[in-house]
Amino acid sequence: MINCLIVDDEPNAVKLLTAYVAQVPYLHLAHTCYDAGEALTWIQQRRVELIFLDINLPGMSGMELARTVAGDQKIIFTTAYSEFAVQSYETAAVDYLLKPITLGRFLQAVSKAADVLKTTATPLALSGALEPGGPALDHFFIKSGKQIVRVRYDAIRYVEGLKSYVMLVTATDKIIVYKRMQEMEALLPPIFRRVHLSYIINLDHIRSIEENHILLPPTRIPISSKYREAFLTAIKDRFI
């Protein structure tokens, strides 16, 4: 599984790339950033192998950011400007996509990146310590208040963001964890999907979808417009 990051200041570009990533089984979208400064901070704290990177960004440019990344992190530039193509190959770039980006061209670039990274299409696994890339387990341990709690992935119905912490909701418990929503989104396996600024849901617990809400009895979870397309793309393979 390839953990990837999207860095682009255009919401429509982020939306399109998010939808494309969701169609590739061996890609896991760890995070999205709208400027290079935020991306640099995120990269320094998290594991990511592939970065979809715009060049024309506010503050630090994408080209400047590209020169700071580790050698084992690969870049696919996504830009409306062709004049940077030659310069891009002085960085860790494996491809250079000109906007508007078609799905076919995107898949071609991703395939090239997968070859470079020598990655096989295997499911994303998290370790018992809730860190990407560890052995595949059905549970993890996490600190909640003064306790260390064992939590099964399949028991989590949804995650709710509450200011500076999140709440993991199961059928019997509500577990407070002092992490941000973005951190939880990056750490949970692909069966969990962000559907709202305040909610990440487990797709296996969906009872029904009614317009802009998801029913996880007895709770109704709202779907925001920002995450709706990516969510629907994630479940399309389950339609019969």
Please, what is the average pLDDT of the chain? 82
Q: CA angle 131-77-70, nearest 5°?
A: 45
For the chain, what are the domain ranges? Answer: 2-117, 151-238
Q: What is the mean pLDDT of residues 66-81?
A: 82
pLDDT of residue 12: 94
Q: What is the pLDDT of residues 108-125, one digit of tens each?
A: 888 888 888 864 333 333
Question: Looking at per-residue confidence, does 68 or 195 come out higher?
Answer: 195
Return the CATH number of 151-238, one of 1.10.3720.10, 1.10.10.10, 2.40.50.1020, 2.60.40.1760.
2.40.50.1020
Range in 5-9, 79-83, 203-207, 210-214 the model is least confident about? 79-83
Q: What is the pLDDT of residues 4-58, one digit of tens each?
A: 999 999 999 999 999 999 888 778 999 999 999 899 888 888 888 999 999 888 8
Q: How confident is the model at residue 82 (pLDDT cuts 50, 70, 90)?
A: low
Element (DSSP H or E) covering residue 7: strand 2-7
How far apart (Å, rounded) are the C-alpha atoms in residues 95 and 24?
A: 17
All residues at 6 or more sequence positions from 168 whose CB lies less than 8 Å from its CB, including other chains: 142, 151, 156, 159, 174, 175, 177
Q: Choose from 82-96, 115-129, 157-171 the range with maximum mean pLDDT.
A: 157-171
Q: How confident is the model at residue 234 (pLDDT cuts 50, 70, 90)?
A: confident
Which class is domain 2-117? alpha beta
Question: Does residue 84 register a pLDDT over 70?
Answer: no
